[in-house]
Each structure stands twice: as structure tokens, then as C-alpha cells.
Amino acid sequence: MVNAKFSPSLMTMDLDKFKDQITFLNKHVDSYHIDIMDGHFVPNITLSPWFIEQVKRISSVPISTHLMVTNPTQWIDQLIKIGSDYICVHAEVMNGIAYRLINQVHNANLKFGVVLNPETKIDVITPYIDLVDKITIMTVDPGFAGEKFIDNTLEKIRELRVLRNINNFGYLIEMDGSSNKNTFEKIQKAGPDIYILGRSGLFGLNESIEESWHEMLEDFNKAKSQIL
């Protein structure tokens, strides 16, 4: 089993407690996950590059931007300028521009991630899998918080681990969607490197972010003990 890294999804945080929550999480998390949605790729509109700038004012924790957009080329320059540590694009919109995007991000000394929807097979990213720094497996349908967990997505996490070991690839494996006490055990069995935590797994557990964090760790470690 891999050592877990945690990445809170900031679209599910309590924005009226923005500074207090970020200040606490800065001491505990491995990265922040920031969703940008355009209302076209998914039927929702969420965070923005401006939001990333506000986080960076009070945090040095790495930021991973998840672009749920139809036209990622419209966003890359701005995210590079801001300095998003990871820029992650859906495989479903990368056909014909994949190498250009990857090179553009790497030339800026930033890291490139690719995201796969639940229905998208790993074969789609085979041509450039050796070039990406992170692969995110959506374990729910994208676009909204609170979606139902899709169990068969975990097989892609297992497959990515095997491919990485056989080929000595360098990508991290991340899961995104409904990571909480009800799913921790089966997710851990699949073995991603990074767990994205949303409202059901972190921010909605308690009024206090400190209490929520400790409750999440207790749930996570309890699930881990069931496997060991």
C-alpha cells in the first residue's frame, strides 16, 4: 500500500471561513485541488484563476488545477502566469492538442496532469502516458459535489499502478470523487497516491476544520487497519 497524500477540493470548503481553513490545512495537506468549470464541459461553473491567486497569497502548498473545460487552450497561459503547480486537463478534450499542451506546461517548469472520466479507458492516453506527471481517475461523474461513487473506476487505478511498475513511468495516480469513510477501504485497496477530499470526506464533517481533519484521519486509518 502506498503512503497516502491528501488534496482538499477547495470548491467544497466553507468560503466564509476561507482564511482560517487554509491556514490550518497549510500545515497538514500535500496539495490543494482547485476545480475550474466552464459550464460547457460540465453543466456547472465554479472556481477561477482569481481564486488560485487568493490561495497563493496565504499558502505555499502546491496547487493542482483541474480544468473541466471544453477548450483548455484558453486557460493555460493564465494558469502558467499564476504558477499553478499542476495543470490537469481532461483526456476527452485533448485529441489533437495533447503534445502541444504538455510541452507548453513543461516548458514553463510546471507539471502536467491528465484526467479521465469514469467511461474513458486508459488506452486513450497511451500515446503520451510517459510524458504526464499525474493521472487523475474520476470516481464519480464530474461537475458536481456529492455524486455517487462508481466502483468499477478503481480498476483503472490498479491498472495504472501495474503500468507504472512495468514501464518505470513517473506519474502520480490520483482519485477524485466521493472519498470518505464509506469508500476509504476500497479506494485504499486500489492504491492511488493522492486522495482528493471534498465535503463528504472533510469539509462537511464538523463545523471546525481542525475537528474535521482529525475525524477524516480517524476514518482513513480505521479503513487502513481493516486491510493490514
HEC readout, 42-101: CCCECCCHHHHHHHHHHCCCCEEEEEECCCCHHHHHHHHHHCCCEEEEEHHHCCCCHHHH
**20 given a catalytic annotation:** no
State which amino acid sits at residue 49: P
Question: Which residue in the list 16, 20, 35, 151 is annotated as catalytic?
Answer: 35
C-alpha cell at 5: 497524500
C-alpha cell at 183: 469508500
What are the pLDDT tens digits along the chain (228 aa)? 458 999 999 999 998 999 999 999 999 999 999 999 987 777 677 889 999 999 999 999 999 999 999 999 999 999 999 999 999 999 999 999 999 999 999 999 999 999 999 999 999 999 999 999 999 999 998 866 667 899 999 999 999 999 999 999 999 999 999 999 999 999 999 999 999 999 999 999 999 999 999 999 999 999 999 886
The per-residue pLDDT for 2 is: 53
**130 given a catalytic annotation:** no
> What 8-state DSSP symbol labels residue 27?
T
Q: 10 Å Cβ neighbour count for 97?
A: 15
> What 8-state DSSP symbol labels residue 203?
I
Identify the bridge partners of residue 9 per DSSP, sorted by sequence position.
33
CATH number of 5-227: 3.20.20.70
Q: So where are the chain's domains?
A: 5-227
The per-residue pLDDT for 1 is: 47
Question: Which residue in the list 16, 77, 176, 193 is annotated as catalytic?
Answer: 176
Output the pTM of the full model. Answer: 0.95
The per-residue pLDDT for 73 is: 96
